[in-house]
A = this chain, B = another copy of it.
């Protein structure tokens, strides 16, 4: 049931155990971070987040800007909302999306890099 994954000569068991412990200590935070990064790791969604960092937008606006189907945009937004990355605010029949505060500490510095990175001069 549990074949030894690696039968190398010097398997420093203490070291392995220590690494495992470090992982379990950060496990919840790491899992949460991974799911946020997975959401932001899609080019379309990252574009959305970049735009939403500047101003709230409705589904229709995003569809126009990204030149995508309203349905496709809506499905991306649902994922982002389910992940707690964005929040929806309904005004009349249009739904405005904004960045959610919960994961801003992670997203803000990432998005900030996009506007501050100057094109590197070829050395």
Q: Which residues from chain A sit less than 8 Å from chain B, CB to CB?
A: 5-6, 8, 11, 15-16, 19-20, 22-23, 26, 29-31, 33-43, 46-47, 50-51, 54, 57, 60-61, 63-65, 67-70, 105-106, 109-110, 113-115, 117
A34-B30 CB under 8 A given contacts A51-B19, A109-B109? no
Q: In the complex, which residues of chain B have a beta carbon less than 8 angstroms from the beta carbon of A65?
A: 16, 19-20, 23
Q: In the complex, which residues of chain B have a beta carbon less than 8 angstroms from the beta carbon of A42?
A: 34, 38
A64-B5 CB under 8 A given contacts A113-B29, A117-B29? yes
Shortest CB–CB separation between residue A59 and chain B, in angstroms? Answer: 9
Q: In the complex, which residues of chain B have a beta carbon less than 8 angstroms from the beta carbon of A38?
A: 37-38, 41-42
Q: In the complex, which residues of chain B have a beta carbon less than 8 angstroms from the beta carbon of A51?
A: 19, 22-23
Q: In the complex, which residues of chain B have a beta carbon less than 8 angstroms from the beta carbon of A47?
A: 23, 30
> Are B37 and A46 interface neighbours, CB within 8 A?
yes
Shortest CB–CB separation between residue A55 and chain B, in angstroms? Answer: 9
* Residue in B11, B30, B34, B113 whose beta carbon sits within 8 Å of that of A106 in the complex: B113
Q: In the complex, which residues of chain B have a beta carbon less than 8 angstroms from the beta carbon of A11?
A: 60, 64
